[in-house]
């Protein structure tokens, strides 16, 4: 069985336990899925739901943020938006996952990738001055000072 098939098996098992409200068993299954595939956003979302069922808000928010970060990493805007909106219900100060991804990409020298992530971030939080500032930095490092200045003027 491939790693992905094995991770999917544990994910499916976790979903079954979640429906049965057996949150402890669901957590174990979802954790096995993400141990096999640490980029399995749906399994992180399942973990969040299981912890929410147990009443553990801290773990719920942590795994919901992990799911959003992985969705953003794979440029899945709709899923990221859905999870981000859910996170905002509990924590209005949570960072935009696409902005966080953009910062990470920019620090690794992937300026076009960072700009794409920032553009996606603006879909979620269009008035976030931090995103415009980060876009300006990316343009600057690309040697495109004028577009960078345009982005920075929104700050």
Above 50 in pLDDT, residue 116? yes
pLDDT at 149: 55
Q: Count other Cβ atoms within 10 Å, centred on residue 91.
A: 12
Query: pLDDT confidence of 155, banded at 50, 70, 90?
Result: very low
Judge residue 55's burial from the number of C-beta atoms within 10 Å of its C-beta, 0-12 exposed, 13-18 middle, 19 or more buried. exposed
What is the pTM assigned to this prediction?
A: 0.84
pLDDT (average), residues 20-47: 98
50-92 pLDDT per residue, tens: 999 999 999 999 999 999 999 999 999 999 999 999 999 988 8
C-alpha radius of gyration, the chain, whole number: 18
**Averaged pLDDT of the chain:** 92
Residue 148 has pLDDT above 70, yes or no: no
Q: How far apart are CA 132 and CA 23, in angstroms?
A: 41
Provide DSSP, 114-148.
HHHHHHHHHHH-TT-HHHHHHHHHHHHHTT-HHHH
pLDDT of residue 144: 85
What is the per-residue pLDDT for 146? 53
Q: What is the pLDDT of residue 119?
A: 94
- Pick the most confident of 23-37, 90-104, 133-147: 23-37
Query: Residue 95 gets which letter from DSSP?
Result: P
Residue 153 pLDDT more than 60?
no
Percent of the chain whose pLDDT exceeds 70? 92
Which pLDDT score, from 0 to 100, does residue 4 have? 84
């Amino acid at each position: 069985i491939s790693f992905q098939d094995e991770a999917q098996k544990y994910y499916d098992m976790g979903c079954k336990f979640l429906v049965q409200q057996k949150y402890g068993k669901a957590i174990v299954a979802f954790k096995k899925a993400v141990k096999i595939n640490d980029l399995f956003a749906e399994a992180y979302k399942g973990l969040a739901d299981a912890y929410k069922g147990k009443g553990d808000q801290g773990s719920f928010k942590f795994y919901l943020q992990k799911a959003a970060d992985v969705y953003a990493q794979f440029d899945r805007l709709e899923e990221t938006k859905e999870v981000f909106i859910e996170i905002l219900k509990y924590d209005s100060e949570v960072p935009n996952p696409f902005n966080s991804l953009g910062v990470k990409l920019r620090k690794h020298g992937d300026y076009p990738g960072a700009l794409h992530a920032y553009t996606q971030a603006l879909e979620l939080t269009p008035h976030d001055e931090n995103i415009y500032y980060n876009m300006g930095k990316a343009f600057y490092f690309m040697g495109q000072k004028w577009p960078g200045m345009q982005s920075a003027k929104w700050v």
